[in-house]
Structure 1
């Protein structure tokens, strides 16, 4: 089948041009000014034609906690957000710490047929921080990197070994940067707001100490460490120093960390949808993240989509779990950065598609280019809507943006040449 997308603004990480895009079967076969014959013509006037977004950090809770989300609902939320590739973390039940679970996850995603699912394997068996997983077997099964996300690897010796082994296989480790000895039963950022609210706080140094350690271990081993959900201004200073010294370190930021500060918890009466790990920090940290996105210091925007059932979030702030859903708010929050002049459209594509492709060493994604896989998000930057139950495709609603007005949306998502999301017809 041939699909022609016409009159849109084609945005890649290095260019943006008004052009038509022809898809044949699963590939992009033409990008240019000419009108080509096609079985289906899509008018993208006033819209952006972007590579399908790649979310390097999601939690689909499958297997084990499918009442929060599963691979089916997670896939639907992804394509409704313009995301065509997802990397689910390993903290499932049972933990994704062996090849059989990795294969089962991929097979389920393939049967759904909406996204490419590239699992992150655990670093240690059962996330206990002691014994490394069989990395080679898991990579052969389809895992693409390793992380105990949700928990740090507390042992420096174990993390050293993980970086050495993963480097030997041409892979890398993703660090959940947290010194748990400094958590002190905290439930939010330690600072003025936590003092006003009477809530136990967690100092930003708990992140910075862990980032420092893993940076030094990457220096020691020559391995590649990727810092997940960076939230602290000083963490960024450490990462900047390491990059300047040639250490193999990359990092990601989440939309909630570049959008919200801990002031939101004060302004919104202990709303547990703002309870996130790492916690929302101060305005100075938010500004630092935005600056690092602008400068290119931050490599990737990832959602850390972390669904929880409403009954779990509708409790006292102290007792609610950490986490926020984010797949369907990735586009509007990132477009807000574009509107505010923090990043360009080209940088948006780099942060959400091209840079993830480079980190994952994928050769046929991340660009609207002839011969590349037809993974495409058609984005309307001007559409305004209420993000409500009718639009939400996750099983969970734990987002402070739920029932709020948003601007910008993926109105159509194409995966391997097939339309997998059509907003106007509400079809997968």
Structure 2
């Protein structure tokens, strides 16, 4: 739970932004000292984004990612359903201000890519007191639909979103993926950016049903997935 007014109201122990930002600053300092390469997973605070932005400007070899839920959700999700343990993540969901800073970091290239941070849990690992529940969201199947909220709100272009999920992560690691050019691996996803659907965690293909999005309507879905030339997922086609 993010350390803030809502954590106080709910009587939950909060995790301050500084817990992340101090660790990010330390690791960036070590990368600067050694000349090594650093990747920072699932940033969650505006301060962490600014640390990475300054480090990149000074030549530090750093890449970073953000998870869909940290871009689109806030700590308010914990209170929408009383003590919803499905909204317990690591790092925690923070404020709308942090989410806006993360989005700006994604737009300007400070954050290289979006990663699902898919963390399926057994029901028993969430059916307990909030601070005892294992953190994580089963987020792979809702990632695209949730991220499409940014596109439909005109906060991010569709091409920008697709790049953040494909060629930008591939480029960060120097991998020959995320391209439809002749000779490239036949890894293709067919999307419907407007199809609306209601999230029902019980229908997830994942064994992890832990999602705070149950009952919400998302616009945007995957219709077909081709991996190395083979159809591995089909939805209505």
TM-score tier (shorter): over 0.9
Q: Which blocks of at least 5 consecutive residues in structure 2 are unaligned?
A: none
Query: Larger relative CO (CA 8 A, sep 6+): 1 or 2?
Result: 1
Residues 196-232 of structure 1 deviation map (CA, whole Å, 9 limit, x = unaligned): 1111111110100000010011101111111111001
Counterparts of 2:106 and 2:203, CA distance in 1: 29
What TM-score results when the alignment is normalised by the length of structure 2? 0.96
Residues 402-424 of structure 1 deviation map (CA, whole Å, 9 limit, x = unaligned): 34322111100111111111112
1:407 to 215, 219, 227: 219
Counterparts of 1:294 and 1:389, CA distance in 2: 30
Q: Verify: 1:222 aligned to 2:46, yes or no.
A: no
Partner of 1:300: 113
Partner of 1:271: 84
Aligned pairs (5 A) from 1:14-413: 188-363=1-176, 365-389=177-201, 391-413=203-225
What TM-score results when the alignment is normalised by the length of structure 1? 0.54
Aligned-pair CA distance for 1:390: 6.3
Check the 8 A contact 1:293/1:343 in 2, yes or no. no
Counterparts of 1:309 and 1:197, CA distance in 2: 25
Check the 8 A contact 1:189/1:201 in 2, yes or no. yes
Aligned-pair CA distance for 1:389: 4.9
Check the 8 A contact 1:258/1:289 in 2, yes or no. yes
Larger fraction in helix: 2
Counterparts of 2:138 and 2:202, CA distance in 1: 16
